[in-house]
Chains A and B, each alone.
Chain A
Amino acid sequence: MNINNKILKNEERAIFELRELYQKYGYSQFKMSKFEEYDLYVRNKNFLVSDNIITFTDTNGKLMALKPDVTLSIIKNSKENDKGVKKVYYNENVYRISNGTKSYKEIMQVGLECIGDIDTYNIFEVLKLAADSLNIISDEFVLDISHLGIISYVIERMSVSAEDESELIKCISEKNIDGIVKICKEKGYSSDILEKLVQTYGTPSEVLKTLKELDLDMCCEYISELSEIVTYLENIGYGGKIKIDFSVINDMHYYNGFVFKGFINGISTGVLSGGQYDKLMSKMDKNSKAIGFAVYLDLLERFEKSDKRFDVDIVLLYDENAELSALNDAISMLTSNGKSVMAQKCMPDKIKYKQLLKLQERGVEIIENNA
């Protein structure tokens, strides 16, 4: 089958290319139904981006939900005794509240999960695929990477109360240094290291230099893990696009280790989000580790720099006396030149066309040119 690339919308083209990419690395597609038992989401409410879920009662009286997330279903279906690492990708609609309108929206999501005995290579592979995915969408991208091990070590050392911890984490995610200083001053914590961690943003070499100056020996294991992987990502051609940013912070009750977010120049929010979620696995009674990410394709719609100002290239008018064969010949001739043609008996309202033609006995006559 020949598909004209022009017909595909940005997000449709991205779906095909992303699927091809993930399959190349041995990820198999995970397919699921639109519905899942509500129970699954209630138990892991905070893992979800929002706790608003569309529910309904199934014919057998069970409370069901339109899936707001795919990761939980994949984990639920992963078997404990599988040897090796389970690699899956998905391309599914999820149902979430949209921020602006506060109403439900269907969002196309593509993502992948890597579940099992995760080692450094697996982490690298997932991060590389995240960078590759962004690169498919646009070469002007940034992948922000953080390591929660470092942040949680620093916060633990400050021995803050649970309430202050969540306040601090909110400030970290907002890069709100004045807020961090204020909380620490009020409660008598030392904010120095946290302040510097949040302030530092940039290429791995810059940030790793700053980390060296901080007293972080106790988590050098995390730092060297971070350093190894980001440096290698830079070496395979993503220099300048990989940044270390400790403000990337996912819920620490579920996530640990690497977390990351991807941004595209021209799209106002992050389009890719992921991380290691071993803690979620153990909450769901699984022994294995896991890492994955999702790409929000609904955001690509606005990214398209389209110059679409016409509904159709040509409107071809014909009258009742027109012969079927003459009409078909004319249309075939025009479409074979790569034009789109809409045949109409009378002018429809509100149609924007480049050219208006009329089929006469002698042939086709140009009535109006707009382009």
Chain B
Amino acid sequence: MKTMLNIALPKGRLGEKVYNMFEKAGFECPSIHENNRKLIFENAEKNVRYFWVKPSDVAIYVEHGAADIGVAGKDILLEYEPDVYELMDLDIGKCRMAVAAKKDFYDDVEKTLKVATKFTNITKNYYGKLGRDIDIIHLNGSIEIAPILGLSDVIVDIVETGTTLKENNLEVIESIVDISARLISNKSSFKFKNSLIEKLTDEISKQMEESND
């Protein structure tokens, strides 16, 4: 039996961009362009199998070895801290994790700060380092309305262009960390499919160097 390289891609625009990079690197899988609802695509000739998963699940597939490699945002890696190798910063899907508040927000340090976020772990670590007492309110979406409705003082969320914040009368008051897409690998797969993985990473670094020139 041939060794297949199993690759988990995040559904959506970022995933398609990543696939194009992989295709150029010699790991093409033409059937992926067929317009259907299939989630798994295979090209036995190139020893490669792709599957589309929810972006926040990529790290889980890779950590448990269901995928050998995958592409996940740094936000997901910081939030879930999966036990994987972080082989490469792909320099795409760039944004930042930031603290945002209403424009007239005054930070009274004597009070416990109420923070609404999807990223509880990142938030806990960030304020833990500052030694600030906080209450975390975990939300799954529409984080921006939390300060407007008085649910929280501030929010911790991903900021891409800042348009959503502006439209909701919020502004960034503190940047936490820069985010971009990372190529991650399962630790065990890295040993046993090393030549395939190294071939891929070499080709992709070449591509990235070319585009930087």
Contacts and interface: CB of A to CB of B under 8 A. Distances in A.
Contact of A142 (B85, B86, B87, B192): B192
Contacts of B191: 142, 144, 243, 263, 265
Contacts of A178: 86, 88-89
Nearest to B65: A268
A140 interface: yes
Interface string A267-307: 11110000000000000000000000000000000000000
Contacts of A247: 85
Q: How large is the interface on B (under 10, 10 to 19, 20 to 34, 35 or more residues)?
A: 10 to 19
A263 B192 contact: yes
Given A268-B63, A268-B64, A268-B65, A175 B86 contact: yes
B188 interface: yes
Interface in B63-109: 63-65, 83-89
A154 B101 CA distance: 43
A174 B188 contact: no
A264 interface: yes
Contacts of B65: 267-269
Contact of A263 (B64, B83, B88, B188): B188
A150 to B, nearest CB: 20
A176 interface: yes
Nearest to B178: A182
A270 B86 contact: no
Contacts of B63: 268
Interface in A157-202: 171, 174-179, 201-202
A268 B188 contact: yes
Contacts of A243: 191
B114 interface: no
Given A174-B84, A175-B85, A140 B186 contact: no
Contacts of A270: 187-188
A263 B65 CA distance: 12
Interface string B17-44: 0000000000000000000000000000
A265 B1 CA distance: 14
B187 A265 contact: no
Contacts of A201: 194
B85 A269 contact: no
Contacts of A265: 188, 191-192
Nearest to B189: A268
Given A140-B192, A142-B192, A263-B192, A269 B187 contact: yes
A333 to B, nearest CB: 41
B19 to A, nearest CB: 21
Contacts of A179: 86, 89
B208 to A, nearest CB: 11
B87 A175 contact: yes
Interface string A240-274: 00010001000000000000000111111110000
A48 B9 CA distance: 35
Contacts of A99: 83
A268 B192 contact: no
B136 to A, nearest CB: 17
Contacts of A140: 192
B187 A263 contact: yes
B174 to A, nearest CB: 17
A177 B83 CA distance: 16
Contacts of B83: 99, 269
A247 B63 CA distance: 17
A140 B188 CA distance: 11
A189 B144 CA distance: 39
Among B186, B188, B194, the one with the most A-chain Cβ atoms within 10 Å of its Cβ is B188
Nearest to B91: A178
B85 A174 contact: yes
A128 B66 CA distance: 31
A177 B86 CA distance: 8
A89 to B, nearest CB: 25
10 contacts: A99-B83, A175-B86, A175-B87, A179-B86, A263-B187, A265-B191, A267-B65, A268-B63, A268-B186, A269-B65
Given A174-B84, A179-B89, 4 more contacts: A140-B192, A175-B85, A175-B86, A270-B188
Interface of A: 99, 140, 142, 144, 171, 174-179, 201-202, 243, 247, 263-270
Complex A-B, nearest 7 residue pairs according to Cβ-Cβ distance, in ascending order: A268-B65, A178-B89, A176-B86, A142-B191, A175-B85, A174-B86, A265-B192
